[in-house]
Structure 1
Amino acid sequence: MGNWFKISHISAGFIAVLVGYTSSVAIIFQAASAAGATPAELNSWMWALGIGMGASCIGLSLRYRSPILTAWSTPGAALLVTSLSGLTMSQAIGVFLFSSLLITISGITGWFQKIMQYVPRHIAAAMLAGILIRFGMDLFTAMQTQWLMVGLMFIAFLLGRAWLPRYTVPLSLAVGMLSAGSLGLIHLEALSWTPATPLLMPPDFSVSALIGVGIPLFIVTMTSQNVPGLAVLRANGYETPASPLIGWTGAAGLILGPFGGFSFNLAAITAAICMSKDADPDPSRRYLASVWAGVFYLFTGVFGATVVGLFAAFPTELVAAIAGLALLGTIGGSLAGALADEHGREAALVTFICTASGMAFMGIGSAFWGLVFGLCVHAIARRRSQAS
């Protein structure tokens, strides 16, 4: 039973949720605002998202004994910010249900898993490294504005590596929170702990909205979230079947869409935190970190937007620093895996650089294009080696 309450599991789960919420919750607010959401409807959105992510994290992680973390679609939310203007909330709900239905069908038919089977592991590792490298750099960028707090966290990380390797990240987080508190950087004054109330919102299936917003939401979620999310699992050695994961996240959207759960998908960045050695030296036990992330997600769902205020109370530098520290090992392991095979190094480099560039084309993010360009280079290199 003690394994269920291991501090490294709990801290990894908490950091994953902290990073996930603080990095993109403002976009959710903007998306809800674009649809004309009332405060009660926004509260329901946050309830649905928290409950959906929590239930799917816990259920899928326990079912497959793998660190499976789900998330809302951040690129999808950004798309909604610009696309929901002029639509009613009922039309927006119709869009959510349509997109989730397409995701569910993708999982049931298995076509997504078939495509991902053709992605070599070194390219998946390179894409993961490209996704995460920004977080490693943000650690040192944060030192520029809060050098004392971040510097102490970095020192705690180095000392922890030497003497308490299993508790390095929790120790750094504790030092960061103590430093932030002593420097007056944590602001909890405006918090009021009020449970959220789910609100059932009827859908309106507008054909123009389904085509103009629903299909792009589906494409963005699959390419920018589920592709790198599955790549993270593969890069860390987890061969969990993809189809059930995609299918269940789509089903969660079908159930919770009428309450504001606009999209659920596999997480990439936050999932990497739960898959690191800091979460557990034993890869077979890291799923418990995702279970704890699910518990924290449920908590955020129950208290809705109030918990968002709690996460917003932390200084941005603390969040950037702890994310960077928690992901250092994963970044290093991904780079090592990407560049280990000399014959695949060029394709891996193209994947890594393109993904890290942050480029976007046709509304699709750099992770997808890094994968496309890397696979092209890989195919050319294979044909060249076969010809010679």
Structure 2
Amino acid sequence: MSEQTLSGGGRRDYLQPVMAGALAAIVGYASTFTLVLAALTAAGASPQQAGSGLMSVCIAIGILNIVVSWRVRLPVSFAWSTPGVAFLLTVGEPVGGFPAVAGAFLVAAGLILLTGLIKPLAKLIGAIPAPIANAMLAGMLLTLCLAPITAVGEMPALALPIVLAWAIGMRFARRYAVPIAVVVTGILLATTTHLPPGALDGTWPSFVPVMPVFTLDAIIRIGLPLYIVTMASQNLPGLAVMKANGFVLAPAPLFIVTGIASGATALFGGHTSNLAAITAAICAGPEAHPDKSKRWPAPISAGVVYLLLAPAASLAAAFIAASPPLLIQAVAGLALLSSLAAALSGALAAEETRLPAVLTFVTTASGITIIGVGAPFWGLVAGIGMMVLLSAGLKPVRDITGK
């Protein structure tokens, strides 16, 4: 590590991305860990198997965040497949029970690995036009960026101090505005959150091996759709987020490592790991650091937090479940406002791609889900389709004013 990093100035320089990474992990875990547990249980997992699956995925994405970001010195973020568990929640227990689900997880992991090994396919996935990537990112961020305003309306006593702390920080210490808001949030939660009786009862989570069983029913109903949902609703938006923030990644190696990690966690009841999307914007965006070259410690910090949350899942789950989720979303929204502004600026900069970008933005922001695939994918399809239509020499229809 360089002398600058070890100096006092270096330590201050890296405080901002470290805080951003910790926030990303807390937001990612707090917002969907209950969904993970519910989805695994709905698919036939016992409470012990569900806890094992959650812990194994936490460890996998923790290691991925730390190792990959340290290796490439880029803010590459990983997370579990939230759209994947949302889909899993709807399919129920297949023939063969949870072992068949683990087999389907392995099939999905193998397909992700093959996507990385077949280079033309990975290259095609990574070739997203920059205006469309920015518009997709903006649409994804919009709902979360509205959370601070919603929180002020619903719980002003808790949300107003956080927003005011952030605003004052923006005026006097811009680089540390979000860390200040995080600290204020932590103080408020620590002093106002009360765990219900018995919240910490029970054993700590432990690894529970699951012997996979491969059934056609589970592969068709779970394995193939999980692969499609993970690629369309997580990996594609994840690459788009990085491109929108000025980081162009080679997708193939990332698909390979996430495929391997997903295969390992499947043996312990865990679903797929993949590129992060929303939380990636926290780590790769300007609020992590104004200097792009100094944002890479953010995912490392996130990885450490995920590793700490893994064995302490019972305590973390009890504390976060007792906290107002809107408050956690609010501080994340404040951290993402700069990313939203940058994404909108990049999406609308060029007049010739402005309409396709707006179509991508509104489609993504709509939150629609069609055949189990989320809005970011359909925003991408709509925007690129419009770009192709316009580039084919077809003029857009005039509005009623004749303009």
| TM-score interval (norm. to shorter) | over 0.9
Query: What is the identity, as a one-letter code, of the residue corresponding to 1:21?
Result: Y
Percent of pairs identical after alignment? 37
RMSD: 2.0
Contact 1:4 1:288 in 2 (8 A): no
Query: Could you say which residue in structure 1 is the equivalent of 2:269?
Result: 260
Structure 1 CA distance, aligned partners of 2:55 and 2:26? 16
Aligned-residue offset at 1:124:
0.3
Query: Could you say which residue in structure 1 is the equivalent of 2:400?
Result: none
Matched, 1:70 2:78: yes
Encode CA deviations 1:286-336: one digit per residue, 9 max, x unaligned: 110000101111111222343222332332232121011010000000000
1:359–1:186 distance in 2 versus 1, CA, 3 Å: same
Query: What is the identity, as a one-letter code, of the residue corresponding to 2:186?
Result: M
Contact 1:193 1:306 in 2 (8 A): no
Matched, 1:54 2:59: no
Correspondence for 2:18 among 10, 20, 23: 10
Query: What is the identity, as a one-letter code, of the residue corresponding to 1:26?
Result: T
Aligned length: 386
1:275–1:90 distance in 2 versus 1, CA, 3 Å: same
Query: Could you say which residue in structure 2 is the equivalent of 1:309?
Result: 318
Correspondence for 2:183 among 174, 199, 202: 174
1:325–1:186 distance in 2 versus 1, CA, 3 Å: farther
Aligned to 2:274, what secondary structure does the other structure show? Answer: strand
Query: Could you say which residue in structure 2 is the equivalent of 1:141?
Result: 150
Query: Could you say which residue in structure 1 is the equivalent of 2:232?
Result: 223
Contact 2:37 2:51 in 1 (8 A): no
Correspondence for 2:355 among 334, 346, 361: 346
Query: Could you say which residue in structure 1 is the equivalent of 2:369?
Result: 360
Structure 2 CA distance, aligned partners of 1:9 and 1:118? 28
Aligned-residue offset at 1:186:
5.0
Aligned to 1:334, what secondary structure does the other structure show? Answer: helix
1:208–1:38 distance in 2 versus 1, CA, 3 Å: closer
1:293–1:192 distance in 2 versus 1, CA, 3 Å: farther
1:86–1:101 distance in 2 versus 1, CA, 3 Å: closer
Answer with 194-203 or 320-329: which moved more.
194-203
Aligned-residue offset at 1:84:
3.5
Aligned to 1:62, what secondary structure does the other structure show? Answer: helix
Could you list the runs of 5+ residues in structure 1 that have no partner in the other structure? none
Query: Could you say which residue in structure 1 is the equivalent of 2:306?
Result: 297
Aligned to 1:196, what secondary structure does the other structure show? Answer: coil
Query: Could you say which residue in structure 1 is the equivalent of 2:93?
Result: 85
Query: What is the identity, as a one-letter code, of the residue corresponding to 1:156?
Result: A
1:186–1:172 distance in 2 versus 1, CA, 3 Å: farther
1:4–1:96 distance in 2 versus 1, CA, 3 Å: farther
1:180–1:166 distance in 2 versus 1, CA, 3 Å: same
Correspondence for 1:23 among 17, 31, 36: 31
Answer with 123-132 or 102-111: which moved more.
102-111
Query: Could you say which residue in structure 2 is the equivalent of 1:331?
Result: 340
Contact 1:194 1:303 in 2 (8 A): no
Contact 2:33 2:54 in 1 (8 A): no
Query: Could you say which residue in structure 2 is the equivalent of 1:45?
Result: 53
Aligned-residue offset at 1:240:
1.9
Contact 1:185 1:314 in 2 (8 A): yes
Aligned to 1:259, what secondary structure does the other structure show? Answer: coil
Query: What is the identity, as a one-letter code, of the residue corresponding to 1:158?
Result: A
1:310–1:177 distance in 2 versus 1, CA, 3 Å: same
Q: TM-score, normalised by structure 2?
A: 0.91
1:266–1:188 distance in 2 versus 1, CA, 3 Å: farther
Query: What is the identity, as a one-letter code, of the residue corresponding to 1:308?
Result: A
